[in-house]
Chains A and B, each alone.
Chain A
Amino acid sequence: MKFLKDTWLMFQRYLMVFLRNPAWVAIGVIQPLLYLVLFAPLLKSLVHLSGFPAGGAYNVFVPGLLIQLGLFGASGVGFGLIAELRAGVIERFRVTPVSRFALLLGRALRDIVTMMVQSLILLLLAIPFGLKPTVVGIIVMLGLVALIGLGMSSLAYAAALALKSEDSYAPLIFTLSLPLLLLSGVLLPLDLAPQWLQDIAKANPLSYAVNAARDLFNGKGFDQAVFEGLAIMAALAVVGVLIGARRFTRAIA
């Protein structure tokens, strides 16, 4: 009970902190919108290439964009935690009887909610461009985003707690997220890639999420790729939360 209550308190706190900073809210929406307006049109001329997945440019690109949103959204969350470490807020919480797990989960839930809202906005904005979503597709897609958010945010928090400074956290995040992004097939489908690149991408859990997301919008519906993507993202979430929770329960020296 205490754990659930503490998680809710933390969730409320961090949602308030997020909403008090309108710049972050705006960036969260504008960034994917820029991709939608400034990048997606390029894909239109590639649609007829052999190997380009069926379903039209937006139905291929937008689902991947949501995965990217999850990845980038989560990778930035550690900055907030580092700022709080410096302000002494985390230490203050540690002296209270607050559930240590709630310190992680409350934040991660906030991240999930903001990502889901951004995703929904993006999906709705993409409809006039030609995205053809189904209700079930949207719901499962949001579930996928939530799992990515939970797993990646937890890992980002664990990294932030371990590194304790922006100077080491930022390079780590940029070094890791770029190959993860490139090897996920978000920007261009990996079907267009040479075999060796496709093989490497298979080691990237996010590539499964991207495949799953695409099939949710190209009319294929619940196929094996969707289940694979959900299962792998669920596993990522479990691993991420375990690592994050372990970090949060350990003392900060």
Chain B
Amino acid sequence: MIETHDLRKTFKSRKGPVDAVAGVDLDVKKGEIFGFLGPNGAGKTTTLRMLSTLLPPTSGEATVAGFDLRREPAKVRYVIGYVSQEGSSAPEVPGRVELVMQGRLYGMSKQHAVARAAELIESLELADCADRPTKTYSGGQKRRLDIGIGLMHLPQLLFLDEPTTGLDPQSRARMWDEVRRLRDTGTTVFLTTHYLEEADALSDRIGIIDHGKIVALGTPDELKRQVAGDVVIVGTDNASDRVLQLLKGQSFVREATSADSLVRLYVDRGETAMPQIIRALDSAGIPLASLSLTRPSLDDVFLRQTGRSLREAA
């Protein structure tokens, strides 16, 4: 759905050129939710604006929904929807009017646009406010209207720029459900976020960007596995030295440390390691007090690639 090769955007500034996007290679598949994660200022929005035809790339290649971004931006526009961070509706205009207007700009007939708007108002639960000016909307209502505007023309690909920034937890959960429902109906979703949890929970695949470059690309699980696999923590009653000796030599254990009668085992896949650990302890006759599995977070991924924590960088 999206393929880019060495996509770049350089802005001129008083201090000289700034590489906002410094060679991005992306491959977004049809029908997936692709999460674009990175700290503020990493180049997420600039990339998004290039892919949605708002900003001409300085150099590089990109194909969006089958069309060459630089040669056929007009064709790209018909098949993509874009929901910006700043909102998209005029304060004095009712949501329904905005929706209908949007459809008509894509060449829908009036009847068709009115019917489609009614459909979206229903599914996005905007019935209560659809005919009021948008300045009276709550944050969540406004964001849902923005999404509706982006979906009016049934785009194959929807760009969402920081869809949940500024939303309360309830509205955020609702937005996540909405995005998943979109994916389930076949729409490809490309979203940017600086929330780890959001990228993790929502995305089928993730691209992590820092200083204008992709530093990691893959499914959330793949990315986390790249870091150090999983961590299995074995608790024993004063037998941690024996446990350590026993398990250190096992082929599935990459590394093992012990502290406070807990043994931490770094393994490739925690799910398969845990039964092996239990069996090994059983046959050695060592009683097991507790066993837990933790996974590295996307923050560990970011940390490994950039040397900084995303929470600090953001």
Expressed in whole angstroms, the minimum distance between the Cβ of B161 and any Cβ of chain A is 10
CA distance A17 to B97 in the complex (A): 11
Instruction: Across the A-B interface, give the 3 residue pairs with the lowest CB-CB distance, nearest first.
Output: A88-B86, A92-B88, A95-B82
* Minimum CB–CB distance for A87 against chain B, Å: 6
| In the complex, chain B residues whose CB is within 8 Å of the CB of A84 | 90
Contacts of B106 in A (CB 8 A): 96-97
Q: Which residue of A lies closest to B93 (CB)?
A: A17
Given the complex of chains A and B, what is the CA–CA distance between A119 and B118 in angstroms? 40
Question: How many Å lie between the Cα of A92 and that of B149 in the bound state?
Answer: 9
Q: Is the CB of A91 within 8 A of B88?
A: yes
Sample of 5 more A-B contacts, CB < 8 Å, known A21-B92, A91-B84 = A16-B97, A89-B89, A95-B54, A252-B54, A253-B11
Q: Is B87 an interface residue (CB 8 A)?
A: yes
Task: Return A83 CB to nearest CB of chain B, in Å.
Answer: 8
Contact of B90 (CB < 8 Å), options: A17, A95, A96, A252: A17
Stretch at the interface among B73-81, B225-233, B263-271: B73-81
B97 engages A87 (CB within 8 Å): no
Instruction: Name the contact of B55 in the complex, choosing from A9, A20, A89, A253 (C-beta under 8 A).
Output: A253
For B74, list chain A residues within 8 Å (CB): 97
Question: Could you list 14 examples of A-B contacts with CB < 8 Å?
Answer: A9-B104, A9-B105, A17-B92, A20-B92, A20-B133, A83-B90, A87-B89, A87-B90, A88-B84, A88-B86, A94-B54, A96-B102, A97-B78, A251-B55
A-side residues, CB < 8 A to B, are 2, 6, 9, 13, 16-17, 20-21, 83-84, 86-89, 91-98, 251-253
Residue of A84, A93, A95, A97 ringed by the most chain B CB atoms within 10 A: A95
Q: Does B53 contact A (CB under 8 A)?
A: yes
Judge if B249 is at the interface, Cβ distance under 8 Å: no
Select from chain B the residue with minimum beta-carbon distance to A14.
Answer: B90
Mark B residues whose CB is within 8 Å of A. Answer: 11, 52-56, 74, 77-78, 80-82, 84, 86-93, 97, 101-102, 104-107, 133, 149
A156 CB to nearest chain B CB (Å) = 18
Contact A16 B93 (CB under 8 A): yes
Q: In the complex, A98→B104 CA distance in Å?
A: 9
Which residues on B sit within 8 Å (CB–CB) of A89? 88-90
Q: How far is the CB of A4 from chain B (nearest CB, A)?
A: 13
Bound: A83/B87 CA distance, A? 12
Q: A17-B93, A95-B54, A96-B77 are in contact. Are A88 and B88 (CB under 8 A)?
A: yes
Give A96 to B77 CA distance when docked, in angstroms: 6
- Asked if B87 and A87 sit within 8 Å, CB to CB, the answer is yes
Q: Which residues of B contact A6 (CB under 8 A)?
A: 105
The answer to whether B92 and A87 touch across the interface, beta carbons within 8 angstroms, is no
Chain A residue at minimum C-beta to C-beta distance from B84: A88
Give Cα distance in the complex from A251 to B55, angstroms.
6
The chain A residue with its CB closest to the CB of B81 is: A95
- Chain A residues whose C-beta falls within 8 Å of the C-beta of B107 in the assembled complex: 2, 97
Q: How far is the CB of B46 from chain A (nearest CB, A)?
A: 10
The answer to whether B101 and A9 touch across the interface, beta carbons within 8 angstroms, is yes
Question: Which of A21, A84, A96 has the largest number of chain B CB atoms within 10 A?
Answer: A96
Q: How far is the CA of A89 from the CA of B82 in the complex (A)?
A: 12
For B101, the chain A residues whose CB sits under 8 A away are 9, 13
Instruction: From A97, A251, A252, give the contact of B105 (CB < 8 A).
Output: A97
* Closest partner residue, chain B, to A99 (CB atom): B105
For B86, give its contact among A21, A91, A95 (CB under 8 Å).
Answer: A91
How far is B11's CA from A6's CA once the two chains are assembled, in angstroms? 32
Expressed in whole angstroms, the Cα–Cα distance for A90 and B36 within the complex equals 24
Q: How far is the CA of A17 from the CA of B93 in the complex (A)?
A: 7
Compute how far the CA of A94 lies from the CA of B53 in the bound complex, rounded to whole angstroms.
Answer: 8
